[in-house]
């Protein structure tokens, strides 16, 4: 198997001699696991908290506890006011991104005629990485989706990245028939057992000038690769990545999939385009991000210790002075229909968002100089603010519930009206604003039938809060643990 590897590996193509290939494979695995950590330890999430972050965190927690003991009421009032300000600032920025994302030029549109007009000679070699682990039930659909991609077979390389001890998925793939462009690449069984480790390993065997990732359950739009080539041709070399949109094919399966579909409709169709329009860092989705192969050689690949490795890579792209474009092409996925499975997935995302924020805040001045003040604030509200607010929601909901259940005097004693009611108003206004954005997102993406999930979305936020608390706890206890999301549950 021919392929190109990262700069510094010492090889241009994997050798065909068995002994040399085994040595190459060992070197590729070492690079996949340790490469980023060895080249730039400060950029790796292998250590969740560097010493100064630990000490600062303990100092803040200690000061807060001491203040609660010494001056309980003033501390709680100040905490409420600070949180209210954070809520309002985050909501205002989210509304601003939403309105900017509504502009037609907030995402790149490539019509079918322009995509199909490209001749084979104009199309660059393309590599698709498909990491999968213990997912035999979706392999057949995956191979059918790869076969449906409209791209010359001699220029398309699809690497199905399977752990070498995942015999059930390997057997399922071989039984289904791989097709002309698909190859199985066995990833050596080694910790961490994460998707980015598998992708890093696969990167050593790629032949494409553009590399993308599809998850095992993905159904990408057949012309997506061609549309990406057009966008890269339109834009300059400073654009490192083109992010396609994600949506779900089972949005009406139950109430949870309806909530999840509305969530994605808002995020990928309005918030991400709004970030692009605002020249802010874009935390990439876990799939359908198309990246120039040369960019990996310059800034490094995925962090195998970060459980939202693509969000981290998206920030690193911005930190390196590159930008990301959003493409109007959709990849369909399977929405989680099981609440426990959903919490496992979302808690990993929240943990990874916090990991990413902590990693890139190790050099805050350097980051600020590249992305600017607005970008820095937006980076913080999205990656740190989203999980922190989800955790705080539980505290304020319990406080509101105590007030409603007849403990008004106790609440009023702790929180005077000038602190409590602004917080309550921001909660009500925030809920209404997000419900409105969900309604608009569903209407514009052809999901008007999801009006009931849009109306009941506050219950979805309860699940988000549970997931955020779980993810924050795991960040401290087991930061790089990858909780597997099970697929094939849609009916």
Parallel, antiparallel or unpaired: strands 239-248 and 182-187: unpaired
Which domains does the chain show, CATH number per domain?
76-104+365-477 (no CATH), 112-345 (3.90.550.10)
User: Is residue 80 within 8 Å of residue 426, measured between CB atoms?
Assistant: no
What's the average model confidence in pLDDT over 272-297?
94
Q: Which residue has the tokens 């699809």?
A: 158
Q: What is the pLDDT of residue 1?
A: 34
* Range among 35-39, 125-129, 144-148 rated most confident: 125-129
Q: What is the pLDDT of residue 304?
A: 93
pLDDT at 25 over 50: yes
Report residue 33 CA to chain centroid gap.
20
pLDDT at 310 over 50: yes
Looking only at Cα atoms, what is the longest distance across the chain? 79
Tell me how many helices (H) and strands (E) the chain has: 19, 8
**Cis? peptide before 80, omega within 30° of 0:** no
Q: How far is CA 97 from CA 87, 112, 373, 425, in A?
A: 15, 28, 16, 22
- Residue (of 249, 258, 251) closest to 218 by Cα position: 249
Question: What predicted TM-score, i.e. pTM, was given to this entire model?
Answer: 0.90
Tens of pLDDT, residues 153-189? 999 999 999 999 888 988 888 888 787 889 999 999 8
Phi (first) and psi of residue 110, to 5 degrees: -120, 115
User: Is residue 287 within 8 Å of residue 145, measured between CB atoms?
Assistant: no
- Residue (of 480, 477, 486, 485) closest to 194 by Cα position: 480
- Dihedral sign computed on CA atoms, order 396, 402, 403, 407: negative
Instruction: Give me the half-sphere count of Cα atoms (radius 13 Å) on the Cβ side of residue 484.
Output: 10
**Cα angle for residues 352, 129, 483 (degrees, 5° grid):** 30
Count other C-beta atoms under 10 Å from residue 433's C-beta: 15
Q: Which residue has the tokens 């980051």?
A: 367
Residue 122 makes CB contacts below 8 A (sequence gap 6+) with 229
User: Is residue 143 within 8 Å of residue 176, measured between CB atoms?
Assistant: yes
Q: What is the pLDDT of residue 314?
A: 95
pLDDT at 45 over 80: yes
pLDDT at 13 over 60: no
Q: What is the pLDDT of residue 298?
A: 92
Q: How far is CA 154 from CA 72, 209, 253, 437, 486, in A?
A: 70, 14, 39, 44, 33
What's the average model confidence in pLDDT over 256-267?
96
Tens of pLDDT, residues 343-359? 999 999 999 999 999 99
What is the C-alpha to C-alpha distance for residues 373 and 363, in angstroms, rounded to an integer?
14
Instruction: Give me the half-sphere count of Cα atoms (radius 13 Å) on the Cβ side of residue 447.
Output: 29
User: Is residue 24 within 8 Å of residue 14, measured between CB atoms?
Assistant: yes
Pull the structure tokens for residue 387.
């999980």
Tens of pLDDT, residues 190-210? 888 889 999 999 999 999 999
Q: What is the pLDDT of residue 17?
A: 60
């Amino acid at each position: 198997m021919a392929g190109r590897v990262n700069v510094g590996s010492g090889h241009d193509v994997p050798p065909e001699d068995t002994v040399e290939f085994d040595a190459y494979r060992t070197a590729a695995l070492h690079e996949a696991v340790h490469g980023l950590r060895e080249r730039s330890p400060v950029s790796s999430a292998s250590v969740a908290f560097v010493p100064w972050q630990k000490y600062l965190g303990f100092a803040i927690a200690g000061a807060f506890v001491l203040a609660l003991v010494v001056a309980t009421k003033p501390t709680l009032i100040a905490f409420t006011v600070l949180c209210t300000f954070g809520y309002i600032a985050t909501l205002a920025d989210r509304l601003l991104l939403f309105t900017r994302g509504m502009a037609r030029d907030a995402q790149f549109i490539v019509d079918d005629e322009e995509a199909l007009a490209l001749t084979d000679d104009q199309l660059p070699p393309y590599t698709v990485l498909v990491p999968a682990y213990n997912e035999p039930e979706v392999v057949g659909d995956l191979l059918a989706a790869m076969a449906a991609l409209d791209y010359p077979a001699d220029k398309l390389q699809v690497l199905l990245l399977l752990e070498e001890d995942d015999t059930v998925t390997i057997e399922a793939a071989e039984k289904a028939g791989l097709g002309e462009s698909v190859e199985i690449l066995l990833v050596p069984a080694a910790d961490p057992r994460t998707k980015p480790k598998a992708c890093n390993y696969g990167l050593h065997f790629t032949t494409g000038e553009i590399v993308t990732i599809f998850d095992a359950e993905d159904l990408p739009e057949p012309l997506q690769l061609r549309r990406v080539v057009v966008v890269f041709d339109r834009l300059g070399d400073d654009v490192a990545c083109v992010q396609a949109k994600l949506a779900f094919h089972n949005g009406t399966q139950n109430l949870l999939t309806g909530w999840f579909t509305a969530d994605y409709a808002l995020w990928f169709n309005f918030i991400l385009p709004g970030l692009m329009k605002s020249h802010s860092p874009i935390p990439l989705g876990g799939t359908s991000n198309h990246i120039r192969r040369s960019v990996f050689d310059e800034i490094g690949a995925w962090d195998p210790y970060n459980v939202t490795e693509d969000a981290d890579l998206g920030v690193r792209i911005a930190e390196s002075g590159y930008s990301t474009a959003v493409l109007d092409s959709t990849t369909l996925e399977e929405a989680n229909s099981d609440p426990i499975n959903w919490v496992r997935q979302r808690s990993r995302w929240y943990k990874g968002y916090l990991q990413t924020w902590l990693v890139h805040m190790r050099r805050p001045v350097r980051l600020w100089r590249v992305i600017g003040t607005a970008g820095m604030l937006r980076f913080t509200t999205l990656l740190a603010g989203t999980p922190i607010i989800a955790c705080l929601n539980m505290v304020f909901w319990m406080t509101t519930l105590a007030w409603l259940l007849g403990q008004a005097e106790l609440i009023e004693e702790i929180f005077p009206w000038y602190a409590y009611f602004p917080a309550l108003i921001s909660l009500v206004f925030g809920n209404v604003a997000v419900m409105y954005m969900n309604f608009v997102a569903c209407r514009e993406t052809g999901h008007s039938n999801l009006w009931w999930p849009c109306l009941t979305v506050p219950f979805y936020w309860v699940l988000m809060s549970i997931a955020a608390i779980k993810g924050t706890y795991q960040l401290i206890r087991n930061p790089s643990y990858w909780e597997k999301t099970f697929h094939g549950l849609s009916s």
